[in-house]
A and B are shown apart, each in its own frame.
Chain A
Amino acid sequence: MDATAAKYIGAGLAMTGLIGSGAGLGILFGNYLQAAIRNPAAAAGERTYLFLGMALAETMGLFGFVMGLLILFSK
């Protein structure tokens, strides 16, 4: 296989890291909504932690994104 082609395939494969990030975000928001519907009074107080969890879940996907960029653009 040609090295450039392998590079592009590798960058694409690095994006599979986004699967975990997406699943994590889904679980996070799903559970938040479930809890918020059961106890709407407590929902507003936990919103800060919702966004924090979102940030942390996103980070893992971003590591994959960075790997993709590194594979694509490193010489």
Chain B
Amino acid sequence: MAAIEPMEQFLIHKVVNLPPIPVPGLGAVDLSITNSVLFMLIAAGLLSAFFFAAARRELVPGRLQAVAEMLYGMVDNVLTGGIIGDRGRPFLPIVFTLFLLIAILNLLGLTPGGFTVTSQLAITGTLAVLTFVIVLAVGFARNGLGFFKLFWPAGMHPAMSAFLMVIELISFLIRPFTLALRLFGNMLGGHVVVYIFAAFVVNLALFGLNGFGLNTLGLLGSGLSFAMVLALTALDLVIAIIQAFVWAALTCVYLNEVVNLDHGH
């Protein structure tokens, strides 16, 4: 029996050792390149390389430029344009960046031997806090203290509004947690399930090769598990893109609330 350790794939280990760097107020900080950092660098490199190659500004786009323009147009039409409206244009770069970064990190995690950066709660948490802070900053910059009207449901008895304000406030403050947990949970869960079925493939085949009779059923189970691995990997490919899309769409919804606060778009 091969040992089953589904969580081992999420362990962080150092790839390049660097000496600890003293940072004032924090003491010595270890900034070694880990596999997580390495895959983030690969993702950043791939995206940069793609857009340097694609951004030719030709009137008749080539293949790469057409792909880049389609992606950009999709985010512009469906997300910032579709959810926020005309006022969403200034937020297109951040939404586009978040979408592509999360999508490519998710997809890199599905490559053989790849490390899923987005299965680390620290990473998704940081991205979620970044998104939340952007929404807060835009909200206060656009509306000043009128930002707090977001929590005050109008058109009902003040006592009811005050009660609902508490709920609105909680559901607002819980957003970074849900954003971070959704991506983290989806990535972690998807990879663990694939791992477990992959372990079935090996263990049932070993069991099946042990002898004749009942053991032969192990070979059948092994084949079925292999088909399951294939199907789950296909599902994970879809989920990798959908989760990136969901993140970008939620960012747009949150931005829409604060950008169009007075207009009820």
Contact surface of A with B, Cβ cutoff 8 Å: 47-48, 51-52, 54-55, 58-59, 62-63, 65-66
CB <8 Å contact, B246 and A59: no
A29 CA to B67 CA, complexed, in Å: 29
Per the bound structure, the CA–CA distance linking A5 and B78 in Å amounts to: 49
Asked whether, in the complex, the Cβ of B82 is within 8 Å of the Cβ of A58, the reply is no
Pairwise interchain contact A62-B242, C-beta atoms closer than 8 A: no
B9–chain A nearest beta-carbon distance, Å: 17
Whether A62 contacts B249 by the Cβ 8 Å rule is: no
| B189: chain A residues within 8 A (beta carbon) | 65
The answer, yes or no, to whether B178 is at the interface (CB within 8 Å) is: yes
Residue of A nearest to B83 (CB): A48
Given A48-B83, A48-B249, A65-B189, A55-B78 contact (CB < 8 Å): no
B33 at the binding interface (Cβ < 8 Å): no
Interface residues of A: mostly helix, strand, loop or mixed? helix
> Residues of B with Cβ closer than 8 Å to A?
78-79, 82-83, 178, 181-182, 185-186, 189, 242, 245-246, 249-250, 253
Top 6 closest pairs, chain A to chain B, by CB = A55-B246, A62-B185, A59-B178, A62-B181, A51-B246, A65-B185
Q: How far is the CB of B82 from chain A (nearest CB, A)?
A: 6
User: SS class of chain B's interface: helix, strand, loop or mixed?
Assistant: helix
Task: List 25 contacting pairs A-B, 8 Å CB cutoff, sorted by A.
Answer: A47-B78, A48-B82, A48-B83, A48-B249, A51-B242, A51-B245, A51-B246, A51-B249, A52-B246, A52-B249, A52-B250, A55-B246, A58-B182, A58-B185, A59-B181, A59-B182, A62-B178, A62-B182, A62-B185, A63-B181, A65-B181, A65-B185, A65-B189, A66-B181, A66-B185
Minimum distance in angstroms from B122 CB to a CB of chain A: 15
Cα–Cα, bound, A73→B114 (Å): 26
Point out the residues of chain B lying under 8 angstroms from A62, CB to CB.
178, 181-182, 185
Residues of A within 8 A of B185 (CB): 58, 62, 65-66
Residues from chain B with Cβ under 8 Å of A48 in the complex: 78-79, 82-83, 249
Closest A residue to B184 by CB, please name it: A62
- Complexed CA–CA distance, A9 and B204 (Å): 27
Q: A62-B181, A62-B182, A65-B189 are in contact. Are A55 and B250 (CB under 8 A)?
A: yes
Chain B residue, CB-CB nearest to A47: B78
Please report the C-alpha to C-alpha distance between residue A47 and residue B246 in the assembled complex, in whole angstroms.
Answer: 11
In the complex, what residue of chain A is closest to B246 when comparing beta carbons?
A55
Nearest CB in chain B: distance from A16 CB, A: 16
Q: Which residues of A contact B242 (CB under 8 A)?
A: 51, 54
In the complex, what's the smallest C-beta–C-beta distance from B197 to chain A, in angstroms?
18
- Chain B nearest CB: distance from A53 CB in Å? 10
